[in-house]
């Protein structure tokens, strides 16, 4: 894996903070390849012949973090596939694959493994809002999402895991001066404007 060919931004924040929504908008602005660790895990869970289906399903429902080997491998595979295709408009700019890695790393062991074995992230975009706002958004989404973790019980567990396991990761990168925090309480448009400005600075 030639990590000189890639550039990574981590997108972190609590469950329902708006990571996926904002990544979609940043892709429109900058042509990143958006990789959501949660989406990759859900796809693997449903893939016929996967050895990890039951493990992933249980972890997601309980708001626990899937063992890092599984997630890091899925991310690596997805990055490799994108690099191989090298399609313009799919994060491929100036010979580099530009990736928005959404919802990862959410535990210190994943962060250290990815930093060491894949690459160092250029920055961390951190979407921050209150649990009250996140709960409301997730319950609303749960009416139609079909996600097995969009129910009050799972959401409470996800909040706990986030505070317990993911906040230390954010502090770790903050100490390295990599974290840009954005209040994601406002409307999608307002949040997007701020996120876009921050990312633009990185390319200036």
47 is in an annotated binding site: no
The closest alpha carbon to 101, from 168, 13, 172, belongs to: 13
Cβ distance to ligand UP5 smaller for residue 37 or 121: 37
82 binds, among Mg ion, ligand UP5, none (CB under 5 to 8 A by kind): none
Does 105 sit behind a cis peptide bond, omega within 30 degrees of 0 on the bond before it?
Answer: yes
DSSP state of 148: T
197 is in an annotated binding site: no
Cβ distance to ligand UP5 smaller for residue 27 or 93: 27
In the complex, which residues of this chain contact Mg ion (CB under 5 A)?
A: 19-20
**Max Cα-Cα span within the chain:** 45
d(CA 80, CA 176): 27
> Smallest gap, in angstroms, from Cβ of residue 116 to Mg ion?
25
Cβ distance to ligand UP5 smaller for residue 92 or 129: 129
104 is in an annotated binding site: yes
Query: Other C-beta atoms within 10 Å of 153: how many?
Result: 11
Long-range contacts of 86-89 (CB under 8 A, 24+ apart): 88/31, 89/31
> Smallest gap, in angstroms, from Cβ of residue 53 to Mg ion?
20
In the complex, which residues of this chain contact ligand UP5 (CB under 6 A)?
A: 13, 15-21, 36-38, 41, 59-60, 63-66, 71, 103-104, 106, 137, 141, 149, 158, 184, 187-188, 191
174 is in an annotated binding site: no
Are the beta carbons of 134 and 159 closer than 8 angstroms? Answer: yes
Cβ distance to Mg ion smaller for residue 1 or 167: 167
165 is in an annotated binding site: no
């Amino acid at each position: 894996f030639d990590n000189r060919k890639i550039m990574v931004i981590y997108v972190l924040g609590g469950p329902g903070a708006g990571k996926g929504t904002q990544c979609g908008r940043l892709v429109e602005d900058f042509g990143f390849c958006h990789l959501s660790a949660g989406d990759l895990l859900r796809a693997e869970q449903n893939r016929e012949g996967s050895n990890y289906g039951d493990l992933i399903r249980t972890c997601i429902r309980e708001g626990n973090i899937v063992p890092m080997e599984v997630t890091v491998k899925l991310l690596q595979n997805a990055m490799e596939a994108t690099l191989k295709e090298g399609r313009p408009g799919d994060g491929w700019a100036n010979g580099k694959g530009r990736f928005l890695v959404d919802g990862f790393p959410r535990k210190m062991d994943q962060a250290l493994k990815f930093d060491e074995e894949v690459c160092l992230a250029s920055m961390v975009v951190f979407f921050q809002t209150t649990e009250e706002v996140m709960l409301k958004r997730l319950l609303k989404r749960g009416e139609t999402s079909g996600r097995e973790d969009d129910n009050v019980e799972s959401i409470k567990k996800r909040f706990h895991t986030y505070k317990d396991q993911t906040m230390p990761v954010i502090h770790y990168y903050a100490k390295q001066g990599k974290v840009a925090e954005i209040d994601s309480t406002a409307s999608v448009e307002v949040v997007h404007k701020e996120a876009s400005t921050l990312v633009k600075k990185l390319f200036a």
